[in-house]
Structures are given as structure tokens and as C-alpha cells.
Amino acid sequence: MKKGMAMLLSLVLVTGFMGATQVDAAKKGTLKTYKNCTEINKDYPGGIARTSKVKNKGGATKYKPYANQKLYDLNKKSDRDKDLIACER
């Protein structure tokens, strides 16, 4: 019984910490339209990708973009090179 409880507690702690490693506005459920790339990069250093399958056409980037279709659609105007990643760095 003690071993089962310990395993359950461990599982809850591990999954809880994995989910809390990257807390951002989109995961909290609040989607925001940003004025420019400077504001986007404060919250999302790698920019915002439409999907996780999108590749950057501009070459190597420093950060991995955050993938969220709804958030990308709200900030589509900031995707100047039309590669489906807004404000990549």
C-alpha cells in the first residue's frame, strides 16, 4: 500500500512539474493580439508558429517557436516572410 501511494505521488509530482516548465499566456487560455514583434518576443522568444510541423524558411533560428494556431491567426500580420512563423528569432 505504501509503495503504491509513493508511486502515485511520484507520478503526480513528475507530471505536474513537466507541465509547469513553460507557463505562458496561451497555455493559461488568454490569447492576445500583439502590436509588434518586440512584444511577441517578450512572451515567446522563438515567435509563434501556426503548427509544430512548420519549418523556418529563413534559416537557423536561436529559439524554438511556440506552436498555437489560434494565437498565430491573431498575430498573422507579424509574419512578414509568410513562412507560418510570426516573429521568429
- Residues 74 and 83: their CA atoms lie apart, in Å, by 15
Residue in this structure with the C-alpha cell 507557463, named with its chain if needed:
23
Q: Is the pTM value of this prediction over 0.85?
A: no
Q: What is the mean pLDDT of residues 40-67?
A: 91
Q: What is the pLDDT of residue 19?
A: 41
> Residue 1 and residue 48: Cα distance in Å, rounded?
46
Average pLDDT score, the chain: 82
**Over residues 32-55, mean pLDDT:** 96
Q: How far is CA 57 from CA 38, 46, 53, 80, 81, in A?
A: 20, 14, 13, 12, 8
The three three-digit cell numbers of residue 84, written as one number: 507560418
Residue 68 to residue 84: CA distance in whole angstroms? 11
